[in-house]
Homo-oligomer: A and B are copies of this chain.
Amino acid sequence: MTMQKAIVKMLQGNEACVYGALYAGVEFFAGYPITPSTEIAEGMARELPRRGGKFIQMEDEIGSIAAVIGAANAGCKAMTATSGPGFSLMQENIGYAYMTETPCVIINVQRGGPSTGLPTKIAQSDTMQARWGTHGDYTAIAVAPSSARECFSETVRAFNLSERFRTPVIVLTDEVLGHMREIMTIPQAGELRVVDRVRPDVPHEWYRHFEITPSFVSPMASFGEGYRYNVSGLTHDQDGFPTAIPEEIKTKLDKLRLKIERYIDEITSFRTEMMDDAHVAVISYGSVARAAYQAVRMARERRIKVGAIQPFTIWPLGEIRLRELLIPIKKVIVAELNMGQLVHEIRRVAPRHTEVFSLNRYDGEVMTPHQILDKIREVL
């Protein structure tokens, strides 16, 4: 799949995810339709068979993520897309992906919850679930784009992180982002980096599927390549065989954590606007970030020294870098389309002298620049 000349397209956020995934080299998609993510499955159903890739609509979301993990172990770059109810159903098997260190990408186009909630309305209320949704100890990676362009690039980045660290990566978008159409230039082949999982370079017999390496990431062979390893969701040793030995258990769980913790700088990413001289900052992600930039523009017109920070990586948040950014800041507003989720994390991370305020909306509507502007003026 190569793209020669600059192609400008009007794409829905959901479609941009599809093209981003194709750019990253997705070979397998399994999913079950759910509003507002369905266009991703529909795009994949259209595009993948044309390119020799594999598409399957499974019987449910549990089966979808299972098939994705199966395909990933058979060597494919694989993904699924869903929304809240489906994301909840996938949790058990997402845990299996963590445990078995299977690279794959899960896009959650968020809608209002809990439960069936508001299928056609926006929310950002699965933020904490993306970190803590499945049982047990593990470390999650989740990224959050805010435009069609970022839907494309963050999907690419999600695949890269997933392959790089042998771990599932979650892309959190939302209903408005998924359905809005935006003009964007499709990156040329080579313009964005595309990462593939590291393959083993040892003889078949020496291969250990969960080998403890200095980076804590193990090279990954695929089914059918002569390695014949075992994969299990039971806590296992380096060969994938179930273990009950406390040291081996701890080693395994530490591996899951350290392979991410050690590379936080490589994983996290922020966009900042007008932060150089700011005393007040607005932290927001996804759709809300755009309202925040608009609000900052508006506030600057009123000579208010405010800036905006948009973390692209929500989990892990990158607390060292964030704390650095907040050092000159007296007041920070965390704007989210929920009752307050990432704000808990910011509270924990913010320097002592930085006061943290929460701006929340959870009525199914987008956050407007005026709301943010009002809050800025309120906390001043």
What residues make up the interface of A, taking CB atoms closer than 8 Å to B? 62, 84-85, 87-89, 91-92, 95-96, 98-100, 110, 112-121, 123, 125-126, 128-129, 131-138, 232-235, 244, 246-247, 249-250, 253, 256-257, 338-339, 344, 347-348, 352, 362-365
Contacts and interface: CB of A to CB of B under 8 A. Distances in A.
Contacts of A85: 92, 95, 135
A363 B115 contact: no
Given A112-B249, A123-B137, A347-B348, 12 more contacts: A87-B135, A89-B92, A96-B115, A96-B116, A99-B113, A99-B114, A114-B137, A115-B233, A132-B132, A246-B363, A249-B362, A344-B348
A251 to B, nearest CB: 9
Contacts of A253: 339, 362-363
A286 to B, nearest CB: 15
Nearest to A83: B135
DSSP majority for the A interface?
A: mixed
Contact of A135 (B88, B131, B339): B88
B137 A88 contact: no
A199 to B, nearest CB: 24
Nearest to A364: B249
20 contacts: A88-B91, A89-B92, A95-B113, A96-B114, A99-B115, A99-B116, A100-B115, A113-B137, A114-B136, A114-B138, A126-B136, A128-B131, A132-B132, A133-B133, A249-B362, A249-B363, A250-B362, A250-B363, A344-B344, A348-B348
Contact of A136 (B112, B246, B344): B112
Contacts of A84: 95, 135-136
A120 B134 CA distance: 19
A128 B136 contact: no
Given A250-B362, A352-B352, A117 B134 contact: no
